[in-house]
Structure formats: structure tokens, C-alpha cells
Amino acid sequence: MTVDDSLEQCAPTETPTLVVSMSTFRLPAAPADAAGVEDEGEDEDEDPPERSAWDDLPFSQKLGERVSRHLAPLVPPAPRHLPDLDHAMLGERMEELRAAIKAGGCAVVHIVSHGFLRHGSPDDLMVVAANTRDRQAKTAFDVRRFLQDVDDEGTGRVLLLLDVCHGGAGIDWTRNLPRAERRLFVIAACPPDAQAWGGRFSRAVCDVLEDLAKGHAGVDPSEQYVRLSWLKDEVYRRLLRLCDDDACPEQEVVASELDGPDTGFLANPWYREDPVERLELRDRWALQEFIDTVHPSLDLHHYLSRASGRETATGLDVPCHFSGRHRELGDLADWLARPEEDGAAVAVVTGSPGTGKSALLGVVVCCTHPELSKALDTVVNHIPARHRPDPRESVAAVHARGMTLSRVIDAIAGQLGIAAPDDGWTAQGLVDEVAALPVEPLIVLDALDEARESVRITVELLGPLARREYANGPRSRPCRLLVGVRPYGEWLQPLLEAAAEPGQLLSDLDETDREDLTEALAEYVEGLLKDTGAYPRRSPVRRAVAQAVARRIESVGRSAPAGGGGEFLTAQLAARSIGTLAPLDAEDVQAAVDRLPLTLAALLDGQLVADGLSWARPVLTAIAFGKGEGMPMEIVRSAAAAFHPEGAEPSREEVVEVLASMSFFLRRDIDPEYGTTLYRLFHQELVDHLTATAAVSGRPV
């Protein structure tokens, strides 16, 4: 063994990776005396090797090469493929790997071979080496001993992928390890009492890693590493598909507990470490001042896009199109400016979907946040000084959609720099800690009605923050609390009543002066049109188009049974629709605006026709039938086949193209368990329209 062949102590950022493949099984010639024949001096090398009891695996070596090739982009340095090692050499290589990670590194090992259970020890998995004699454990690789040695000798971590029969036996003893001590993770091709067939587990691993490299796996760009739970389930799904394609018995992929304090083995090649790149913000230098100090739980994209009036805000230098709501913004600025002794504690902004609640709160966050207000001058300077809230010393902003109470508490505490107690947070514990802060913080919580535990958040956290008074402490109330919520549900009434009390603030955006609304809509639409390539320099026509659109939207809203609502959302979609048309001349403006569809459903249908993507409607329809926080891309792909006229299944490339083209109509979230991107439609009207008009192919999903 040369120095170059050994694994030296690895740098902390390196992940030594071994891919072991056994394809040919031969035993060395038996010693002459073992056969009862005296040694006559013949050259032992001339004796043919004794035939092994194990069948050759002719596919194994090529599979090992494939696995190595697909792992290479995810694990530095490149994996080492070790084919057909005898048991002594295999043991040496594993010893080297243990030594390399002893001081705290991590390693990935993939094995393709035969496997058997040690006689009398059903939990001891033995991997067959090239020279393993029948079922003699001493000539095989002992998986349990290897993992226990890693566990006993240091702080290293191992991810072991086992494509061997009885592979699940390698995981049983790890199940009793507490989460904080889990450093050994095993994913196996089959349970302890089952067989692995034809290297299909390794083929499935290759398929999954190939899709990951292409960006088709659905792992969110914010995830630095692939979640092991996702890897196991995705490999299992691909394995079942391979079994079906090959008309062979199904295999069940099994695994150890895959949650631990550090499960970063396989890097996500689409991870964007630079927040400028991940958030698609162009002005790197404007961000440099504050990006490291803004807490990760602050949903910067949410508040920036709403405040700028552009759903797809692409940078800090993007024009701000927030318009209207000056009275409401001025009321909020006055409420924030009141001295602490006045007891101003809670402000609630309500209104129907699309009335601008998030935009209003977004402007407040951008103007008041001590770091954001310095860098987001395109937003802050757009707001008239008399309506602009002043920067504050301490701000926490939470976009609550999909959140539980515990996640909201963690986000607020993290942004305010409050360390969690050893036994974890309670809602009242956070309220008391906030009240003890030397500086009164502003806590902004948007989309309360879209939180997963909206009632608990309101009753257990927001209620005490709004009403709790302290006789002793730096101030009488814990904080200034600003909440954005749709006015639905009896559970909300106590919070609305608290905001309606003297000295507090309740702002209902559905109660709007129609004349002021028309002017604000025209200003908003004109700003959006100015950004399009068709109207940058045609000011008179652009203004005429914007005014015509605003009048029509206001008229439709005024005649609606509920008195309107959602006008700014409709204006944004209308401007988007006009931007797809050829530039209008002055005499054509009114006729074009009169023909303009103003429902979300009609605008979506127009976009579908304009894009001409054959898979757009089936993909969006599949998403419409999803529940909860959304649907991952792979499930979207499978479900879309049910809504295609021919019952076909789209390629991953086709699904990616649709998701990119129709991104305006979609919202994204991250699956908390798998780290994949979840997709859902941004408005219930779109869901209702697509589900009601779904053309079902009859193919089962």
C-alpha cells in the first residue's frame, strides 16, 4: 500500500467517500495439506482458485463507477471506487476511513455486494468480500463492528448506503441512539429478512443524484445539504419504479433514524450561499452593509416585494410602486411615534385579499427596521416624508403563513436577540422576556390568518403581547405589536377589540374612499407599465392606459356584492396582461381596456394561451388539487398525468419549464422534513377555477 492509496486526516470541509463494488468472487487455492496432499513443490500460483459459494455480480463494477460519478459533485474530494477487494484490503480501507474522520469529519460509503447474517446473530450484517468463504464471518466485512468502532473512537459521522441482501440488519442497533448523539446514518436496499435484487437500489441512487445535479429534484436552493429523509424516500420511490419497469419483486428501502444534530453529507449543488444570489437581488453593495445582521427568520423577499409593489422584486434598486394608502400609512406612523407612556400597544390592519395589507406592513418594516431602512432607500425614499415611519432601534418581522406557534416564537426571539431557555420557550415566557428588554421593540406579524396555528398564536401569544400590563419594568406594555390579517373568524375578535380601544389602531382597508382609490390605482398601474419595454418613454399613452384601467377596476369593485376588495391585486394582474400586448395608440386605449379580463381565472387563461406550453394547464391543475402548504415537484409531475388528454407523464424538464413560466401565479414554501420546494397557487379563485374545469384523463395517480 502506497501513501497515495491511503486516506490521510481529512480537512473539515472534506468528505472522504468510498464506493465499494464486488462483482467477482473467487477463493484462493486451498493449501495442499488441507486437501490431504503433501506439498510436492509445485508453484501454488498455478493452481486454479477454488470456486466461491457466491454468485458473481457482473453489473456491480459498472454500477460502482456510476455511483462514484454521480456522487462526485456532492462530496469533496472525489469518491474512490474500490472494486473487488478481498476482506483484508476492505478492512484496511475502512480502518483508514475511520482514522480520517476520527477528529470530527464525515464520510460517505456506498457498498454493492452480497450480504449475509452472522450465524446466531441476526442483527450482525456481514458484507461479502471478493474472497469470502461461504458464510465465514471472519472473511467478510462486519458492518455492525465498523459502525460501533466509529461511534466509540471519536466524533466522526458516517452515511452508509448498503445495496446488499439483509441490508436493514445494519441499522437496528442505531435506533436507540438519542438524537443528540446520532452520528451514524444507514440507508439500506431491503429489510433484514429480505433480498436485494439486480443492483436496483444503486441504480435508484444514481437516478436521484442525476436529477439533483440537473436541478430537477425539487430540493430548495436555501438548503445547503440534501435532507437524508428526502434521499431515502426519493430512492425508495425510484426503486419501486425500477422494480415495476423490470417486472420484478418490489424492494423496501429501510433506514436508521435520519434526524440528527448534523446530517450534512451530500451538498445541494443548487444551494445559493450568497443571499444576494439566492434572493435575486442585484445590488450586492447595498446589501453588504446589513445582510449578515438580518436574522434568517426575517422573510426579506416577502416584505421587500410587497413594499415595492412588485411581486417579483428583483433587487434593492428596483423602482418602488407602492401607491395609495397614504392615510393608513400616516396613521401607522403616528401610532408608532407616540411615546411609550401613552400605552400604544397594538395595531391591526385588516382587509380582503388583495387590498394591500402586506404592502402596507412591508413599507413599515422597510422603513423601521434598523438595518433595512439604511439599505432599502428605493422603498424608503419613495414614501412621502409626512407618511414615512421613522427607523426604530429594535424590530422583529414575521411572515406567519404556514407557521406554528413555536416557529413564530423562535423567529421573534431570534430577531430580538433573546436566547432560548434550557427547557425551551413557552408563549408566556417570551412575553415576559420581551417586556424585560431595555428598548421597546416593534413586532410585526403578517398573514396571521394563514398561519398553521393561527388561533393558538392569537390566544397564547398576541393577546398577552397586546394586553399585558406590567407594574414593574422598563415600560407598562411589552412591545408595539402590528398585525396584518384578513377579518375572518370568531377567534380574531378579541384582538380586533383590543386594537379598537382608545390609543390603539384598527385599520380596515376595505373601507376606502372610491375616488382616492381610483387615483392610487392609476398611479400604481402607471408605475408598473413604466417598467415594461413597451411604455418606458410614452408618458401620455401610459398615463391614459393607467387611468382607464383604474376606472374600470374601481367600477367593477363598486358594483360587486361585497363592495369590492382586491383592487390592487387586480391592478397588478391587469398591468401584467397589458404588458403582453403590442403598444397601444391613444385612440385604441379605451377599447383595449374594456376587453381586458379582470378576474384571476380569465387572466390565468390568457397567460396559458399566450405561453402555449402544453403541460401548463395539467401541471397547474395538479397543484390546485394539492392540500396544505403545497406540493413538491415530483408529486406535481406524477399528478399532472391525470389531467393530460392522453394520460402521459411530463418530463422533469417540462415541469421545470412550466413552474418557471407560471411563477407569477405560484407561491413557494419549503417542506420542513424533506427540504424540498412546495408549490401552491397564490389565490383560492385560481384553485376553484382549475379544479372546476379540470379535464381528467382517467389515468390513476
User: What integer pLDDT is reported at residue 385 of this predicted model?
Assistant: 63
Same domain for 204 and 309, yes or no, is no
CB-neighbour burial class of residue 316 (10 A; exposed 0-12, middle 13-18, buried 19+): buried
Q: Is the pLDDT of residue 160 over 60?
A: yes
Give a yes or no: residue 328 inside a domain: yes
Would you give the DSSP letter of residue 388? P
Same domain for 12 and 111, yes or no, is yes
Give a yes or no: residue 13 inside a domain: yes
Give the residue, 241 or 530, on which the prediction is more confident.
241
Give a yes or no: residue 93 inside a domain: yes
User: What integer pLDDT is reported at residue 306 of this predicted model?
Assistant: 47
Strand-pair category, 157-163 with 106-112: parallel
Same domain for 291 and 399, yes or no, is yes
Final residue before a domain boundary, out of 563, 598, 633: 598
Domain count, the chain: 4
Are 137 and 87 spatial neighbours (Cβ–Cβ below 8 Å)? no
d(CA 351, CA 502): 21
Q: Which domain holds residue 651?
A: 603-692
Same domain for 337 and 204, yes or no, is no
User: What integer pLDDT is reported at residue 674 of this predicted model?
Assistant: 87
> How confident is residue 648, by pLDDT bands cut at 50, 70 and 90?
confident
Q: Is the pLDDT of residue 10 over 60?
A: no
User: What integer pLDDT is reported at residue 379 of this predicted model?
Assistant: 56
Same domain for 15 and 143, yes or no, is yes
Least confident stretch, 30-39, 361-370, 637-646, 675-684: 30-39
User: What integer pLDDT is reported at residue 283 of this predicted model?
Assistant: 34
Final residue before a domain boundary, out of 223, 255, 287: 255
Residue 18 sits in a domain of what CATH number? 3.40.50.1460
Q: How confident is the model over 677-691, as a mean pLDDT? A: 89
Q: How confident is the model over 149-162, as a mean pLDDT? A: 89
> How confident is residue 690, by pLDDT bands cut at 50, 70 and 90?
very high
For 132-143, the pLDDT digits (tens) are 887 788 899 999
Please state whether the predicted TM-score (pTM) of the whole model is above 0.85: no
Same domain for 50 and 184, yes or no, is yes
For 336-353, the pLDDT digits (tens) are 988 877 777 899 999 877
Same domain for 284 and 419, yes or no, is yes
Same domain for 484 and 380, yes or no, is yes
Final residue before a domain boundary, out of 571, 598, 625: 598
Same domain for 179 and 248, yes or no, is yes
Same domain for 209 and 353, yes or no, is no
Give a yes or no: residue 442 inside a domain: yes
Same domain for 324 and 453, yes or no, is yes
User: What integer pLDDT is reported at residue 369 of this predicted model?
Assistant: 82
Give a yes or no: residue 37 inside a domain: no
Q: Across the chain, what does the average pLDDT equal?
A: 80
Are 586 and 644 spatial neighbours (Cβ–Cβ below 8 Å)? no
Q: Is the pLDDT of residue 375 over 60?
A: no
User: What integer pLDDT is reported at residue 620 of this predicted model?
Assistant: 96
d(CA 627, CA 263): 29
Give a yes or no: residue 158 inside a domain: yes
Least confident stretch, 335-349, 481-495, 557-571, 595-609: 557-571
Give a yes or no: residue 436 inside a domain: yes
Q: How confident is the model over 663-690, as a mean pLDDT? A: 85
Q: Is the pLDDT of residue 471 over 90?
A: no
Same domain for 588 and 639, yes or no, is no
Give the residue, 563 or 423, on which the prediction is more confident.
423
Give the residue, 436 or 606, on which the prediction is more confident.
436
Give a yes or no: residue 460 inside a domain: yes
> How confident is residue 556, by pLDDT bands cut at 50, 70 and 90?
confident
